[in-house]
Structure 1
Amino acid sequence: MQSYLARAVQALILSSLIGLLSGCTAYFHQPTKARRARLGEETPSTTTLHQLPPVKEKIVAAVYKFRDLTGQYKQIESGSTFSTAVTQGTTNILLKALEESGWFVAIERENISNLLNERKIVRSSVAQFKEGENLPPLLFAGIILEGGVVSYDANVITGGAGLQYFGAGAATQYRQDRVTVYLRAVSTKSGKILKTIYTSKTILSQTVNATLFRYVSFKRLLETETGFTTTEPGQMAVTEAIEKAVEGLIIEGTKDGLWSAADKSMGAMKTVIDAYDKDKAVMSETDVFGVRPEVAPPFLTLSAYTGIMRYYGDYARRTYKGAYGASLDFHITPVVGIQLNAATGTLASEGAFSANITSLEGNLIFRMMPYQRWTPLLYAGAGVVSRAGSSALDLQGASYLQAQAGAGIQFSASKVIGFRSTLSYNQPFTDALDGRVAGTRNDYYLRGTFGLVIHVGRFPAKNRPVVTKPVAAPKK
């Protein structure tokens, strides 16, 4: 009765917590009533455009058509729809970005026929009442802005994680898309392409949910479910990519002397250019998945570690005992290497036996992310193991072959120093390691370690840009 009551209380508490989380989720992510219209949101790039130094003389720019060039339709689980994946109003977004920057005077060209037709109407009306009065001429553009959204890549990265235990669990899934924009400035006098800018923006979608499915008593089933899904608006992603392209066009044009900031803002503009160059250098090292090399992987890695071992064999009681050792990794490539490992520790079963062992192992080791400070490790190999006396080198009895495999993670705090933690499965090819031969299975043990690593030598850095100082243009 007490057991049943305790389980019922636990289920009630758990369901209450999930209900509370569900209520919070509903409050923050699920609107329960209609909302009023509001002004459009700003992106981080909008703020950057507002903070640009003022221009010396505004540039008259024409945009005839800034189009969606992808031809992509929205994807759904059963295929695709007739709705486009990219907004068709990209010309309007570009014109707004030009206005927000304060560097351009945008003139109407997308619907120039409507403008010319209206001017004809004005002329005919004015001619009837005010003879000899004419409309002023239209502005002509110094540059024409061309380009468009050239790519929309769906499911660039997908993934997730989940855990369920006795009917209670939670899971999350995510998906990342990518939109790419090209923008170029063309001189109306010569037709020369003055500058081309390329930008991209990721679009993140994420789902989080939690469930509970449990019998609290006979014929009494408790089932709850909650969750939410968020998707970054595609229009906001396109807007930010276009605004970033406008920012890049302004800065690149300033560097090339096509236009310039106001005389009193030259210092501020230099600061903006320096920050842009730094950002550009970082992006030259970054791949399409947003991963940037952080360290150059070492040739040699020396590691000294301490840890624990747990015995599994013919005795039922298993005890954690201490272990220590050292390893040397020699890498043939940044990813693949050869490891020599020497370890000693104690295998014990409470009240049954305790024995020191020493092992010498050779492994093939893999650094999964060699250019990152945090990198997963995988290794496997073979070696020998033997009982030891009071010291690790005092070997006693026969030596046995063993196979081992493990995984771990390594953090490089600097070019020289790092830390490593591993967990390995070690399988000797004998059942006599604990001094007792029984059953059909050999003895084995697990070893967990944590230690200090020292890096020696380096592979060449990956994708490091060659930075050269700009050469001043000769004076005319």
Structure 2
Amino acid sequence: MHHFKKFILVLILVVFNSCGAYFNQPLFQEPSRVGEFSRSTDQLLDLPDAAQKLEVAVYNFSDQTGQFKPVENGSTFSTAVTQGGTTILIKALEDSGWFRPIERENLSNLTTERNIIRNTKQEYIKNLDPNTPPLPALLYAGLILEGGIISYDTNIVTGGMGARYFGLGASSQYRQDRITVYLRAVSTTSGEILKTIYVSKTILSQSLSGNFFRFVKFQRLLEAETGITQSEPVQIAVKDAIEKAVHDLIVEGVKDQLWSSKGGKEVNDELVANYVKEKEFEESKALYNRLFVNREYKNTISVSGGANLIDGDFATRRLGFYGAASYQRNLNSFFDFGVDVAAFELNNGEQYSNIFGSIGLNGIFNLLPKDDLAPFIYAGPGLVVDVREITDRQTRFGQAFFKFQYGAGIQYKLNPRVGVKIFGEHNVVLSDELDFRVNGKRDDFYFNFGIGVNYNFNWKNKSKKENNEDIEDEN
């Protein structure tokens, strides 16, 4: 029975720890298939019809990074990204339905073939009708698309986690790379660069593994291992970035009235409005998907609740309740000034229990003031007041003690007005009589732990001029 349990444990480890490896492992050869869509393909295909297709030429859109594929040992002459960027771009232009691509990458091949046709007609077709039209002229482009893959950064984010207990373990690792594409449209009549588009795409690689290593009996070792590694194909990432660049180029051209959709102004306005909203959101994020939120409001009120833990002269320590309300005034991007009032219980079990109130003044330092998830630290002086009369000991209602508090926390902005926070605070009382007992030279202190909700606002309404400016910005 004991060995049967061991077998079941190993079976669970093998099947469930990396089940993806066993449900997706390539056991048989697969036939060729149509190429996969990227995340931007549907967005490109859903564009409205163009009022008129534009002839566009692409001479070269290739890898400009010069990087070779990284390997652990030795060297390789294989490039890190695909060299077929021109082909991918032409396919994206066709899929959009807004452009008529013209062959320019291998123009010498095209002109050579046309010369062969022309010479063949002159030399070998003697009875050619003199009224036969000549070979049609080549199309010429109104736009030339230039640019390329200008950056491929590896290991911009790496990490992992793992655990092992009595020979049973599992681990995971991940890595994120980044590819960057620039695309510009050039007018063939004037040489003016009409638009330049910048797009970046992350590439994710991850691995999961599990293992079992244990002696099941004397000189009998049981060992099992399983795992799976998945990497996003670089070619799909390049395709995604190029398709996104073509989509943005089309909408930017509609926005600047360089070209138009078949639906006219109404369709154009809707297309541009959706794009501008998405662009504003993307531009508010920095590297590593850090979302930046501008502080539009100078004042913040918050309510919070949690637990209190005293560290005084009694050995027994139990959690008591904690509740607080606070007001903060924004001084600049990094610093706030705040005042808070709180009620809490100091609980030493049967030895001592009492309810106090406190007021504190704090200087708050925001470490990442524009991030939606931002840590903060604070410190300042305060006052603790006994708010409950003690009948079995001496009466001390209203007696106050000076204190100094400092703490740290993290807040998350749900939107510009509302946010949530979690924090911990250490309060050092400048007295050893907080718990009615004096023992040694150390003063009493206590901890507050809480979670709260913030509400941001401005005291004064905006002036008529500021409202008009906001309306102009929205338009």
Q: TM-score range by the shorter chain?
A: 0.7 to 0.9
SS at match of 1:303: strand
Instruction: Give 1:322 deviation, angstroms.
Output: 1.7
Counterpart of 1:56 in structure 2 is 51
Counterpart of 1:199 in structure 2 is 199
Counterpart of 2:451 in structure 1 is 450
Counterpart of 1:96 in structure 2 is 91
SS at match of 1:73: coil
Map 1:369-384; keep pairs closer than 5 Å: 369-371=368-370, 374-381=373-380, 383=382
Map 1:18-417; keep pairs closer than 5 Å: 18-22=13-17, 24-76=19-71, 81-131=76-126, 132=128, 134-160=134-160, 171-209=171-209, 226-262=226-262, 267-294=266-293, 296=295, 298-313=297-312, 315-371=314-370, 374-381=373-380, 383=382, 385=384, 389-390=388-389, 394-396=397-399, 399=401, 401-412=403-414, 415=417, 417=418
CA contact (8 A) 2:18 2:208 kept: no
SS at match of 2:112: helix
Q: 1:304 to 1:198 in 2, by over 3 A?
A: closer
| Larger CA deviation: 43-52 vs 120-129 | 120-129
SS at match of 1:83: coil
Superimposed CA distance per residue, residues 307-331 of structure 1 (whole angstroms, 9 cap, x where no aligned partner): 2222345544432222233333333
Counterpart of 2:465 in structure 1 is none
Q: 1:309 to 1:234 in 2, by over 3 A?
A: same
Instruction: Give 1:97 deviation, angstroms.
Output: 1.0
Q: 1:447 to 1:31 in 2, by over 3 A?
A: farther
State the identity as a percent: 41
Instruction: Give 1:96 deviation, angstroms.
Output: 0.8
Letter in 2 for 1:103: W
Instruction: Give 1:94 deviation, angstroms.
Output: 0.9
Report how many residues are paired.
457
CA contact (8 A) 2:155 2:177 kept: yes
Instruction: Give 1:89 deviation, angstroms.
Output: 0.6
Cα distance between partner residues in 2 of 1:19 and 1:248: 46
Cα distance between partner residues in 1 of 2:383 and 2:236: 61
Q: 1:419 to 1:194 in 2, by over 3 A?
A: closer
Instruction: Give 1:233 deviation, angstroms.
Output: 1.9
Cα distance between partner residues in 2 of 1:345 and 1:129: 105
CA RMSD of aligned residues (A): 4.1
SS at match of 1:39: coil
Q: 1:71 to 1:165 in 2, by over 3 A?
A: same
CA contact (8 A) 2:44 2:95 kept: yes
Superimposed CA distance per residue, residues 259-299 of structure 1 (whole angstroms, 9 cap, x where no aligned partner): 3333x566444432332233333334333443343462643
Instruction: Give 1:130 deviation, angstroms.
Output: 1.9
Cα distance between partner residues in 2 of 1:468 and 1:388: 52
Letter in 2 for 1:142: G
| Larger CA deviation: 233-242 vs 356-365 | 356-365
What runs of 5+ residues in structure 1 fail to find an aligned partner? 470-476
CA contact (8 A) 1:285 1:465 kept: no
| Larger CA deviation: 445-454 vs 180-189 | 445-454
Superimposed CA distance per residue, residues 353-409 of structure 1 (whole angstroms, 9 cap, x where no aligned partner): 324444444444333444455544433455555665339x9344x836455434243
Q: 1:388 to 1:404 in 2, by over 3 A?
A: farther
Cα distance between partner residues in 1 of 2:325 and 2:5: 47
Q: 1:385 to 1:156 in 2, by over 3 A?
A: same
| Larger CA deviation: 231-240 vs 218-227 | 218-227
Instruction: Give 1:209 deviation, angstroms.
Output: 4.5
Superimposed CA distance per residue, residues 203-238 of structure 1 (whole angstroms, 9 cap, x where no aligned partner): 233344456667778888776655433322221121
Letter in 2 for 1:24: C
